[in-house]
Amino acid sequence: MKGASVSSEWVRLNVFTLSQEGLDAYALCEASGIQYADLGSPYIRFSKDTMNRLWENAALLSNNPSIGLLFGKYGLMRGIKPAIYTLLSSPSLKLGLNRILPFQYLVSDFLNIKITQISEGFQLSLGCEGNDTVHYAAIDAALSGIVGVMRWVLPTLVNPIKVTFKHRCFSDRETYTKLFRCPVEFHSDINSIVFYQDDFEAPIPTADADLTSYYEQIMTSDLIKSQMMDLKNYVRSEILKNLPNGVPSIGQIASKQYMTARTLQRRLKVEGVAFKNLLDTCRKDLAVEYLCHGEMSMDKISMDLGFSETSSFVRAFRRWFDQTPGEYRESHFC
C-alpha cells in the first residue's frame, strides 16, 4: 500500500516554479534523487522524503530560505489544471474548494486541506497525517500558492485576515507579510489561512455550471485511474525506457511507485504476469524491432537490450526463436 507520497505532476510543478528563479531543474532533480524524465508521468509518485530533499536543496542552492513563497508568484495556476478550472468555473471560492477537496489525494496522500467556518470567517488549514514531518518550504509553497490562486480567480484583491505557520520564521517576517498582505504568525499550533467570509463567498465572474461538471468528471476519472493503475503497462514502459542503461531491477521500478519490490511482484501476479516474463518479452520485442529496422550491429543491439555480452544476447535469441539473430534477419528479409 502506498503512503506519504505526492503525484509526479505536483513535483513537476514544484521543479518548474523553482526554475523560474534561476535554479537548474536538472541539477536540482539529480541532487534530490529524482529522474527528470519522470516528471509529470501519470504512473509515478514520489515519496515525502524525496519532496523534503527537493525543498531542502532548493533552499540551499538558492540561498533563499523563503523560496517556497515563489508559489504565490508563479505557482498553482500553471498546473493541476482540472482542479484549477473547476475552481474558475465554480460560483464561489467556498463552493469550488469544497468540490476540489475530495480529490486532493491525487496530489498528496499525507497533506490534507480542511475548511472550517469560524467567528472571523473561514479557516483553511493544512495538516499532515500522523507525525510525518514536512519541510517548512513545502508548507510555504502550499499556502502562498493557495492565496495566489484565489487572487487570480477573483476580480478584487484577496487579502487574508491572517496566516499562521507551525514552523519558525527562517527568513524575515516582512517577506511573508509583504506577500500575504496580512499579519503572519509563526510557532503556531496550525498551518492555516483565515479568509473573510465575504471573499470566500464572493461570486466568481467565470462561473459556469457545465464546465464545473465537466472538470469534476475529469478529476473523478483521474482518481479512478490512480486507484486502478495498470501496473503491467507501467512496468513495461519503465523496462523499455531503462534497458539501454542496463536492466532495471524490480526494486528500482517499485520505488518509483513508493512500494516494495515484494508488493510490486504481488500486484503484478494479480494482473497475471511476473517481472521476469515482462523483461523477457520487452527484450524479445525490441530485438525483432532492432533487427528489422536499420543496420544496427549485434554488439549495439545487445547493449541496448541490457545484455552484458553479445554472446548472452545470442543465447537468449536462440531460446526465443530457435535461431540466431543473423539467421532471423536473413529469413525475415529485414
Q: What is the pLDDT of residues 78-136, one digit of tens each?
A: 666 788 888 889 999 999 999 888 888 778 888 889 999 999 999 999 998 655 689 99
User: Which pLDDT score is estimated for 2?
Assistant: 47
One-letter identity of residue 161 = I
Q: Where are the alpha helices (DSSP H) in the chain?
A: 8-19, 25-32, 48-62, 81-88, 93-100, 136-153, 173-180, 197-201, 209-227, 231-242, 250-256, 261-270, 275-292, 298-304, 310-321, 325-331
Number of Cβ atoms within 10 Å of the Cβ of 311: 11
Better-scored residue on pLDDT, 166 or 269: 166
CA distance 194 to 118: 9
Phi, psi of 123 (to 5 degrees): -105, 125
Per-residue pLDDT at 54 exceeds 50:
yes
Q: In the chain, how long is the greatest CA-to-CA distance?
A: 81
Measured in whole angstroms, the distance separating CA 81 from the mean position of its chain's CA atoms is 13
Q: Taking the CA atoms of the chain, what radius of gyration do you get in angstroms?
A: 25
Nearest Cα neighbor of 110 from 92, 97, 124, 129 is 129
Burial degree of 161 (CB within 10 A; 0-12, 13-18, 19+): middle
pLDDT, one tens digit per residue, over 192-217 is: 999 999 999 999 999 998 888 887 88
| Tens digit of each residue's pLDDT (9 = 90 or more) over 30-53 | 999 998 888 887 777 888 889 999
Indicate the average pLDDT of the chain.
87
Q: What b/e string do you get for 209-218 counting C-beta neighbours within 10 Å, with b at 16 or more?
A: eeebeebbee
Q: Is the pTM of this model over 0.75?
A: no
Is 254 strand, coil or helix?
A: helix
DSSP letters for 62-94: HT-TTGGGGGGTTSGGGS-HHHHHHHHTSSBHH
Which amino acid would we find at residue 284?
Answer: K
Confidence of residue 305 (pLDDT cuts 50, 70, 90): very high
Note the pLDDT of residue 177. Answer: 96
Domains identified in the chain and CATH numbers: 5-224 (3.90.1520.10), 231-331 (1.10.10.60)
